[in-house]
Amino acid sequence: MSRALMTGITGLRTHQQKLDVVSNNIANMNTIGFKAQTTTFSDLMYVNTRSASGPTDTSGGINPMSIGSGVQMAQISRRFTQGTLQSTGELLDFAIEGDGFFTLAQPSGENVYTRAGSFTVDASGRLVDPATGFLVQRIGTVGEPTPTEVGFQVPNDKSIQIPIGANVPGEPTQNLSFLGNLPSSSRPPAAEVLSSNSAFETGGGPAILTTLLDDLDLNTVNYGAGDQLEINGTNPDGTPFSSLFNANGATMGDLVNELNTLLTGATAALNPDGTLAITADDTGEAYLSVIIRDAAGNVGGTNFAGNSFIATTEGRAGDTYELSMEVYDVRGESHRVTFEFLKTDSNSWNITAGINPESGVMIDDSVMNLTFNDDGTYALVGAGGVGDADIEINFTDIDNPQTIALDFQQLDHMASGFTLTQRQDGSPPGAIASLAITAGGELSGLATNGKSVVLAQLAMASFLNSEALTPIGGNYFEQSSNSGQASMGEGATGGRGSVLGGQLEGSNVDIAEEFTQLIVAQRGFSANARTITVAADILEELTNIIR
């Protein structure tokens, strides 16, 4: 009977342990990152009351007879299935979707591992677990300062600085891209041209420079001694001119030379078709005019009134479009620069940059011959080897000039409206105001100037045998001799799960299953208690035999 009593006790003890495990699971049903435990029983040693014997020629074999001594807890395992992800919206709440652990350092320097990513920033600006003060760890040199990049992590210190409010220096504008369309219907500049209403002819053919005025078909009476032509007009800039020209024996060449003597900013020429043309030297609006007529009292005469000068080409400047934008110097200070796009030819444009004199001085302000293909696509800048695609500015109070490379490859030259925009890589100074995290666990600071600054790479750990980790409370695990060494790396690589920001992983406790196991533990405990009761009753009956 004593054996039955002791066996029942093992049943009570083991089911009590199962009940303890179930109770712990239920107690932690709302613990972030908690992983439920399961129990496995095994039987205890046996006492053989009869050994087995093999068969003979005259008898069969005999099976052994054994009496067990009860039950024991064989294993308490932890189930590392995924818990429910809960959105919190907190900057420093992180969850792992998949396998792996966050790594934190204890004051002793030993690492512990957790699935609970509810962190905060301490007074020193370090990322910590607020319940224990353990320091969240990073790997690599991500976020450490370099000669060209700002950094907030301390070399050789694997804790993570979270510099909310820290200044982020501005970036100078080094590259500027233009996007959109320059209208192909825009007109290039033109020089004003005056031409005689019809050709000067002699004998029905065009006059040439050696043709005498007397031989022109328009001549009515040959010129004599003392006959003159009156020439009056205005230059392109509007200034007047006038002259009395000796017509006796004069040729068309003499008339052209006289006009070129009188004109300023324009040139006269006799065209092969016999028309007399006067062309302004420069493009743009002009005030050219010329009147030729016979002086009063002439003996001879030519019908110049019937062949007066008219503007066959109106002078105009090329169509222009402007785009104004902010660029940044090496200190991150903004300056407004205006770009003027001038149509120079059917498929070509020139660009001129300008800046407020208070902001600086343009050293190189021009980009020449921005050229497009006939189909409106970008061709090249600086056709014919003229110029480059850079501008250079000497900003006020800054010694070294700043070069900005211009990119026009995303411009079109189509028969549609002007739709020019730009992108540039400069920025003003700012301050880190928020955080972001990638699936790999790379932390970035989002600054008020729109820049993103890489802060640190979270140290994500994985183990060959996660179930062998030793729980130490506080949502932490320690490495054990059977878990294998921690494999450190980025999230979403090497079997490690993805890191999600603004979320926490809930407990993976299944209440329905735990309640079921609670009933199983209760029934097992009750049944074993019944075994002890029955054994006790039999012992009582046995002791009553001698009465």
For 455, residues 6+ apart whose C-beta sits below 8 A from its C-beta are 142, 143, 152, 153, 160, 161, 162, 163, 435, 443, 444, 445
Q: What is the pLDDT of residue 388?
A: 77
Confidence of residue 547 (pLDDT cuts 50, 70, 90): low
Tens digit of pLDDT for each residue in 388-415? 789 999 999 999 999 999 999 999 999 9
DSSP string, 9-53: HHHHHHHHHHHHHHHHHHHTTT-TT---EEEEEEE--EEEEE--B
Confidence of residue 383 (pLDDT cuts 50, 70, 90): low
Q: Look up residue 126 and give its amino acid.
A: R
Say whether pLDDT at 268 is over 70: yes
First to last CA, the chain: 20
Taken in order 234, 236, 239, 242, the sign of the CA dihedral is negative
Segment 22-44 mean pLDDT: 93
Say whether pLDDT at 196 is over 90: yes
Structural domains of the chain, ranges and CATH numbers in brackets: 2-49+65-80+509-546 (no CATH), 85-169+431-505 (no CATH), 175-187+318-424 (2.60.98.20), 191-313 (no CATH)
Distance CA(338)–CA(356), nearest Å, equals 9
Say whether pLDDT at 2 is over 80: no
pTM exceeding 0.85: no
Distances, alpha carbon 277 to alpha carbons 217, 313, 369, in Å? 19, 11, 29
Say whether pLDDT at 379 is over 80: yes
Around Cβ 32, how many Cβ atoms within 10 Å?
20
Q: What is the pLDDT of residue 6?
A: 83
Confidence of residue 43 (pLDDT cuts 50, 70, 90): confident
Q: Which residue has the higher pLDDT, 501 or 50?
A: 501
Say whether pLDDT at 272 is over 70: yes
Say whether pLDDT at 385 is over 60: no
